[in-house]
Amino acid sequence: MNIDALSASIVDGLMIGFIYGLAAMGLTLIFGVMRVVNLAHGPVIAVGMFAVLLLAQNLGLNPYLGLVIVMLLGLATGIGMYFIAVHRVIDAPELTTLLATFSVNLMIIGIGTVLFSTSPRALDVSLGSVRTGAVTILGTKLVADLIAVIATVGLYYFLYRTRAGKSVRAVANNRAAAELMGINSTWILALSFGIGIALAMGSGSLLATLFSFTILSGTVYEVKSFVIVVLGGLGNPVGALLGGIVIGLLEGLATISPLPVGWVPVIEFGVFVIILLVRPTGLFGAR
Amino acid sequence: MSALRTPFFWGLLVLLGGVGLLPILNGSDSMREDIFLVLMLVILASSINIIMGYTGYVSFGHIVFFGLGGYVAFYLMLNHQVHFVPAAVVGGIVSSLIAFLLGIPVLRLRGAYFALATIGINEVVRSFVTNFDPFGGATGMFFNYEVYNGYGGSKNALWYAYYAILVVALLCAVSSLLIKKSRFGLGLLAIREDQDAAQVLGIDPARSKVLVYTISAFFPGLAGAIFFFKNGIIEPGPAFDLLRSIEALVMVMLGGYGTVAGPIVGAAVYEQLRAFLITNSTFSSFHLFVAGFLLLLIVLFVTAGLVGWLRQRAPRLRRYLE
Amino acid sequence: MRLLPSRLLLLGISLATLFGAIACAQPSAQPAPTPTVAPKVATSKADTPAARTPAASAPTARKIVIGFTASNTGAQNLPSKKQTEGLQLWLDTVTKAGGIKLKDGTALMPEMKSYDDESKTDRVQALYTKLINEDKVDFLISPYSSGLARAAAVVSEQNGKIMITTGAADDSTMEQGFKNIYQLYAPGSRYLVGAIDLLKDLDPSARKIALIYEKEPFSTSVVQAAQPYARSKGYDVVLFEGYDPGTTDFAPFINKINATAPDAIMGGGHFPDGTTLAKQLYEKKVSVRLVALLVAPPEPTFSEIGDAAEYIVGPSQWEPGVTYSPDAAKAANLPWYGISVKDFVSGYQARFNSTPSYHSAGGYAAGLILQKAIEDSDSTEPAKVKATLDRLNLMTFYGNVQFSIEAKTHGKQVAHDMVYIQWQKDSANKLGTKIVWPPAAKSAGAQLRK
Amino acid sequence: MIALDVQRIESGYGEVQILWGLSLALEEGRLTTIVGANGSGKTTLLRTIMGLIPAWKGSVSFEGRDVTHLSTHKKAQMGLVLVPEARQLFTDMTVLENLEMGATPARARSEYRQTLEWVFDLLPRLKERMNQRAGTLSGGEQQMVAIARGLMSKPKALMFDELSLGLSPVMVMSLFEVIVKLKQQRLTMLLVEQNVQMALAVSDYAYVLSNGRVELEGEAKKVREMEAVRKAYLGL
């Protein structure tokens, strides 16, 4: 194996890993708080992609400024989505919430296809690149990574240092007890869902600055997010970031290994199933 | 086998068989195609219901057995000139066997973890087959058109495929009923309600679950074999299409989870609804949206599905509507 | 419970929709009295003119129905739309001209019948069966994309219907022994042949080619054919690898390519991966002389990736800048038929307010070839039309068209040539596509990457 | 003054009715207890009062206001607080965080510091365990956290469900000491207990529940004397 390719791929894997982690964070947060696997996760990411594209193309907004607006939009959308599709069935068996969020998936894709067609779009952002030896680091990826780290730290701070965040954890831990303590659990659940969707849409915006996309592109990240979330421990936001990095590195290394590239997903999903069977709390799960 | 003496059993047989006979009686090709699709969906939905409705395990990636059965049968037909009936049976058996082996570890997982694992398995198998050259890899496998000459020409082959899917659909529905009405089925329902309590009652949940998972993988395996025989081509994408799997779940929910008739009704209604939506000029571009919206309404407000709802409303009907 | 009324209401809605759906589906439940034996191929409309109401005008007008499915939803939605638009333009043109004229003065007025196939193969099969048996279409045109076209071809063949495939370049479909399927696109095995020739012509010093492809049927078959060709031309295929269709980040894969230090990279897959790959090759400053990618480069939106698009070469079935003309036909000793390139482009522009892509040209050409075959046969009888199609060898705005008549590859396209475009900057530093290959069609010289 | 007034309440789970027109009242500043056999509906009553399960019929008023259909958290914010059965702590959070969550109502938040000091005074062991995860504590310590968490909300009426269940006699003693201290501070309390002897000993007023109905009620001292009660619950 070529040492240049190895070092370059480790760096590339790390770089994309942070972004994968961010993409999975919303999914894991929502699961952690309310045991709902959000099957609309992928389409929501795609909505984030198109939202930032529209802001950039119609209002000439810088994509990174657009990101902030997209996340605020995501918060509102998520809260709305919670009350429309999830609240009524929050205590029903898993299948019900899976199907409820899947129906939202269908609706988003349905509307999205009509509005944007499945034609691929790209956001032309360039922040130059740094090159040392065989390793090239793109400005856009670096910024995206930085934002992913900020988002993770921000989420961590929110959950552990603010009252609202602690209420989220309390509701996640024991909803009835939280109600008994005067915490409006419905609102907290809606808020958590909103934050989860905001994170998903935000990650979509960042992905849009890196790769071209269609309204269906979210699916790829949704499935990858499942893998990452399981790796990091379902419901563990910091685990999601770590899981993302592991997957990024795994992809990077598997790609330059002598194994044909086509086998990378076999390894990826194989790892996913094995982790689920052997250690369902994830590699970094505390419990 | 007292289940075979109930009015429901005969009703099921007459209704499903009757609808299945329609295209045979009037010889309509397009009707045959429509009903073929419905019957295939009935099989997918019913078999998911056998594992999900009776034990509460949500198998999201059940389509993996459809693809596996299809691939195994196709491989035998193409490379070893096996007649499609034995090939399909082998496809079904291989699907069951794999379900058995997978089931032992995977069925220990509960709830969302199990659902995610089944998605993962489907993706592993799909990406494996995409790289697996004996199965044609990414390009898949296809028949030369002359293969159908062995079945009296392609037109006849289509009819054979239709008879086969009808028989499998009937078998699947009857198995679903037999399981539900048997002691074994009662044990499964106990597992669904409370696995730990079921254990106390002397039911071995692990064994029961693996057994029912194995059974539920058999029918999609057969359906896959028949479908791809008729199709003449098999490729990894359409064979392991996760969306098809989720659609089958929707049908189960629509018709009524845990009932025998539910998945059948669900499949028929879903298919009609779709046919209506995509051919209707107002809805055609919005049909995904409308489908999603209707699904949401059902999930939120008619949780028991159509059959479940009827059973709740009119308890007298329960005898006729399992 | 207070929930009951809303539940009842919903059930009512669901049931109403259901009954509506069933009502709509009634025709299929009660088909017209047909004999139990399905209609023979020969029982087409041509034999029962009495069943049609003759138009008032002197030359009798008769409608012929052309059926197909389009992907209004799903992954193939965009190219499928372009293809349908092309076909629509043909239909408009023919209608305006008073239909397809037969020698006895009958004017055949073509009509389209189409459904949404959602880009799904099982749906395609059910819908083509419906088109054939219920809508009683006279001729079929394929849906867009190889996979869907192949599914449709099976049904069409089973029913003995003639189908023109367009938007389907797969080789293997045409090696299944079909007798009634005619392929309009140059097959995938020829997609990269010209690119290899171009490289040879442009940079005789190049030795090493990396062939990469999306792991799905079309792209895989293209590179599988390109590999032996490249070797036969003396190239060293230093990398031959497929990536997963879901791949979004090519950075590690590019490292792997880099490690083999190729002179040219060829392959790719479809649009999203193609654009991302091109963008990342540029960003990672990969030093190869030529990059040829499938599908993505001819799309106008390829330019959204900015400077990364420059120098990228792509094969195309057709481009608005092609130079096919009656003169070119004469030079090639072929008959010329139909609309000129210029009229097609301007007509399309006027009708749909966008530039036609090769999918659009394929759609139009499908109608055009059918029209030509009917005119030459002076009949809509499948056997006669089939015989004409077998003999057909002509040039149109779309280029040369001829079908294989060998039993093993019957109907496969043998004459149509790919053209190769390259994204180049003009004197004003503006990106645009130029046709750079074959030499006979080129509008500019190809450029090597710096 | 009546703090909490429950009138002819009926409720249950699914189709199973548990409470059959039960009425009771909590006097302000007094300690009331409810005793009764397992399955007599004690826990169901508390859950119905708090709105964790809906009341089918009847009414619940708190401080003169009808709160029957008010959501649980709103009742808690008004000062009607339940220390639930089996403690129901936020096991993944620290002791301090649990207490902080207790102080959710606006009234409690402004006096958070003082209340915290008062609670640590009352239950000094919690101060040592402040930064430990609640789930890692012993059963008795967890019960202390549950009580403390309830107190942090500055309740106007505090209800305890099965305070002593599963705890050692020594621990039960010390928890009852806390109850007595709170009683001295004239906090309105409702105690639901299995340990009938102790409950009656510390309470002012008592209700005896049987099959979802109030079988008898009276001053705790008198109830304790009653022959039927002695036989049925005190094993005398």
% of chain C surpassing 90 pLDDT: 55
- Residue window 260-289, chain B: list those with CB within 8 Å of chain C: 269, 272-273, 275-276, 278-280, 284-285, 287-288
- Give the mutation candidate from A116, A142, A212, A249 for the C interface (greatest C CB count, under 10 A): A212
| Closest in B123, B288, B296 to A113, CB measured | B288
In a domain, C148, yes or no: yes
Is the pair C, D in contact (3+ CB pairs within 8 Å)? Answer: no
Boundary residue ending a domain (D99, D121, D153): D153
| Closest in B26, B33, B145 to C130, CB measured | B33
Cβ within 8 Å, pair C31-B37: no
All residues of chain C having their beta carbon less than 8 Å from the beta carbon of residue A120 are 271-272, 275, 299, 301
C406 contact partners, CB below 8 Å, separation of at least 6: none
Cβ within 8 Å, pair B296-A85: yes
- Residue window 241-260, chain B: list those with CB within 8 Å of chain A: 246, 249-250, 253, 257
Cα nearest neighbour of B277 on chain C: C21
Range of the domain at A63: 3-278
pLDDT the model gives residue A92: 85
Cβ within 8 Å, pair B116-A265: no
Same domain, residue pair D143 and D191: no
Distance CA D211, CA D201 (A): 24
- Give the mutation candidate from C3, C11, C240 for the B interface (greatest B CB count, under 10 A): C11
- Ordered mean pLDDT values, 10 residues apiece, chain D (236 residues): 91 88 92 87 92 93 92 94 90 94 91 93 92 92 94 94 88 92 94 87 91 88 81 67
Given a contact as 3+ CB pairs under 8 Å, which chains touch B?
Answer: A, C
In a domain, C414, yes or no: no
All residues of chain B having their beta carbon less than 8 Å from the beta carbon of residue A107 are 288-289, 292-293, 296
| Closest in D74, D88, D100 to A177, CB measured | D88
The two three-digit tokens of residue B124, written as one number = 């592993």
- Residue window 37-76, chain B: list those with CB within 8 Å of chain A: 52, 56, 58, 60
Those residues of chain B that have pLDDT short of 70 are 1-3, 281, 284
Amino acid at the residue C437: W
Amino acid at the residue D44: T
Please state the domain count of chain A.
1
Cα nearest neighbour of B19 on chain C: C29
Whether B74 contacts B225, CB under 8 Å = yes
Distance CA A141, CA C284 (A): 12
**Is C14 in the B-facing interface, judged by CB distances under 8 Å?**
yes
Regarding the domain delimited by B2-319, which CATH topology (the fold level of the hierarchy) does it fall under?
Answer: ABC transporter involved in vitamin B12 uptake, BtuC (1.10.3470)
Q: Is the pLDDT of residue C6 over 90?
A: no
Mean pLDDT of C206-226: 92
Higher pLDDT, C36 or A100: A100
With bands split at pLDDT 50, 70 and 90, how would you rate the model's confidence at C59?
A: low
Distance CA D34, CA A45 (A): 54
Mean pLDDT of C341-345: 95
Closest chain A C-alpha to B60 CA, distance in angstroms:
10
- Give the mutation candidate from B123, B194, B297, B301 for the A interface (greatest A CB count, under 10 A): B123
Write out pLDDT tens, residues C290-306.
Answer: 999 998 898 877 888 88
Closest chain A C-alpha to C116 CA, distance in angstroms:
14
In a domain, C363, yes or no: yes
With bands split at pLDDT 50, 70 and 90, how would you rate the model's confidence at C117?
A: confident
| Closest in C17, C34, C120 to B27, CB measured | C34
Cβ within 8 Å, pair D100-A163: yes
| Closest in A2, A110, A220 to C248, CB measured | A220
- Mean residue pLDDT of chain A comes to 91
Same domain, residue pair D132 and D18: no
- Give the mutation candidate from B129, B299, B302 for the A interface (greatest A CB count, under 10 A): B299
Distance CA D77, CA D90 (A): 19
Range of the domain at D70: 1-79+156-236
Under DSSP, is residue C165 helix (H, G, I), strand (E, B) or coil?
strand
Query: CATH number of the domain that D207 lies in?
Result: 3.40.50.300
pLDDT the model gives residue B212: 94
Mean pLDDT of C371-390: 95
Nearest to residue C30, comparing CAs of B164, B25, B167? B25
Distance CA A28, CA C401 (A): 55
In a domain, A213, yes or no: yes
pLDDT the model gives residue B295: 87
pLDDT the model gives residue C47: 42
Q: Is the pLDDT of residue C173 over 70?
A: yes
Q: Is the pLDDT of residue C139 over 60?
A: yes
In a domain, C94, yes or no: yes
Q: Is the pLDDT of residue C28 over 50?
A: no
Cα nearest neighbour of B130 on chain C: C215
**Is C256 in the A-facing interface, judged by CB distances under 8 Å?**
yes
Same domain, residue pair D19 and D112: no
Same domain, residue pair C166 and C236: no
- Sheet strands (E) in A71-193: 129-132, 135-138
Same domain, residue pair D50 and D92: no
The interaxial angle of helices B111-131 and A94-116, nearest 10 deg, is 50
pLDDT the model gives residue B30: 81
With residue D219 as reference, give the H or E element that holds it: strand D213-219
In a domain, A220, yes or no: yes
- Give the mutation candidate from B55, B296, B297, B298 for the A interface (greatest A CB count, under 10 A): B296
Range of the domain at C284: 190-316+419-437
Query: CATH number of the domain that A71 lies in?
Result: 1.10.3470
Whether A31 contacts B112, CB under 8 Å = yes
Mean pLDDT of C171-187: 91
Same domain, residue pair D9 and D65: yes
Closest chain A C-alpha to D68 CA, distance in angstroms:
15
Whether B148 contacts B229, CB under 8 Å = no
Q: Is the pLDDT of residue C73 over 80?
A: no
Q: Can you give the length of chain D in residues?
A: 236
**Is B195 in the A-facing interface, judged by CB distances under 8 Å?**
no
pLDDT the model gives residue A286: 52
Q: Is the pLDDT of residue C99 over 90?
A: yes
| Closest in B123, B138, B292 to A265, CB measured | B123
Model pTM score: 0.86
Please state the domain count of chain C.
2
**Worst-scoring range by mean pLDDT, A80-89, B238-247, C49-58?**
C49-58
Query: CATH number of the domain that C287 lies in?
Result: 3.40.50.2300
Q: Is the pLDDT of residue C4 over 50?
A: no
Is the pair D, B in contact (3+ CB pairs within 8 Å)? Answer: no
**Worst-scoring range by mean pLDDT, A257-271, B108-122, B198-212, C172-186?**
B198-212
In a domain, A285, yes or no: no
Boundary residue ending a domain (D103, D138, D153): D153
Same domain, residue pair D94 and D20: no
Q: Is the pLDDT of residue C35 over 60?
A: no
ipTM comes to: 0.83
In chain D, which residue ranges form alpha helices assigned H by DSSP?
Answer: 42-50, 72-78, 95-102, 106-110, 112-122, 124-128, 139-152, 169-184, 196-202, 220-225, 227-232
Same domain, residue pair D112 and D200: no
- Residue window 267-286, chain B: list those with CB within 8 Å of chain A: 285-286
In a domain, A287, yes or no: no
In a domain, C35, yes or no: no
Dihedral over Cα of B172, B135, C171, C40: its sign: negative
Structural domain boundaries of chain B?
A: 2-319
Cβ within 8 Å, pair B30-C28: yes
Give burial (CB, 10 Å; 0-12/13-18/19+) of B30.
buried
Q: Is the pLDDT of residue C41 over 80?
A: no
Same domain, residue pair D108 and D141: yes
Same domain, residue pair D107 and D120: yes
Mean pLDDT of C239-243: 93
Q: Is the pLDDT of residue A75 over 80?
A: yes
Boundary residue ending a domain (D130, D153, D176): D153
The two three-digit tokens of residue A109, written as one number = 């894709």
Same domain, residue pair D222 and D108: no
Mean pLDDT of C248-268: 91
- Give the mutation candidate from A180, A185, A281 for the D interface (greatest D CB count, under 10 A): A180
Same domain, residue pair C276 and C198: yes
Mean pLDDT of C277-296: 91
Cβ within 8 Å, pair C285-A217: no
Same domain, residue pair C231 and C369: no
Half-sphere exposure of C372 (CA within 13 A, CB side): 23
All residues of chain A having their beta carbon less than 8 Å from the beta carbon of residue D97 are 166, 169-170
- Residue window 75-104, chain C: list those with CB within 8 Å of chain A: 75-78, 81
The two three-digit tokens of residue B154, written as one number = 């392609």
Closest chain B C-alpha to C254 CA, distance in angstroms:
20
pLDDT the model gives residue D234: 65
Cβ within 8 Å, pair A181-D93: no
Q: Is the pLDDT of residue C32 over 70?
A: no
Same domain, residue pair D160 and D147: no
Residue D96: C-alpha distances to residues A161, B6, C114, C343, D141 (Å): 12, 62, 67, 79, 13
Closest chain A C-alpha to C65 CA, distance in angstroms:
28
- Residue window 141-160, chain B: list those with CB within 8 Å of chain C: 142-146, 148, 154-155, 157-158
Mean pLDDT of A191-196: 97
Q: Is the pLDDT of residue C55 over 70?
A: no
Phi-psi category of residue D72: left, alpha or beta, with phi > 0 → left and psi -120 to 50 → alpha:
alpha
Whether A114 contacts B286, CB under 8 Å = yes
- Mean residue pLDDT of chain C comes to 85
All residues of chain A having their beta carbon less than 8 Å from the beta carbon of residue C306 are 124, 126
Write out pLDDT tens, residues C406-424.
Answer: 988 999 999 998 999 999 9
**Is C253 in the A-facing interface, judged by CB distances under 8 Å?**
yes
All residues of chain B having their beta carbon less than 8 Å from the beta carbon of residue A234 are 112-113
Mean pLDDT of C153-174: 90
**Worst-scoring range by mean pLDDT, A128-132, A192-196, B193-197, D32-36?**
B193-197
Give the DSSP letter string of B230-261. HHSEE-HHHHT-HHHHHHHHHHHHHH-TT-SH
All residues of chain D having their beta carbon less than 8 Å from the beta carbon of residue A170 are 90, 93, 97, 101
pLDDT the model gives residue D236: 57
Closest chain C C-alpha to A283 CA, distance in angstroms:
24
Mean pLDDT of C198-215: 94
pLDDT the model gives residue C43: 37
Distance CA D185, CA D182 (A): 5
The pairing of strands C236-243 and C312-316 is unpaired
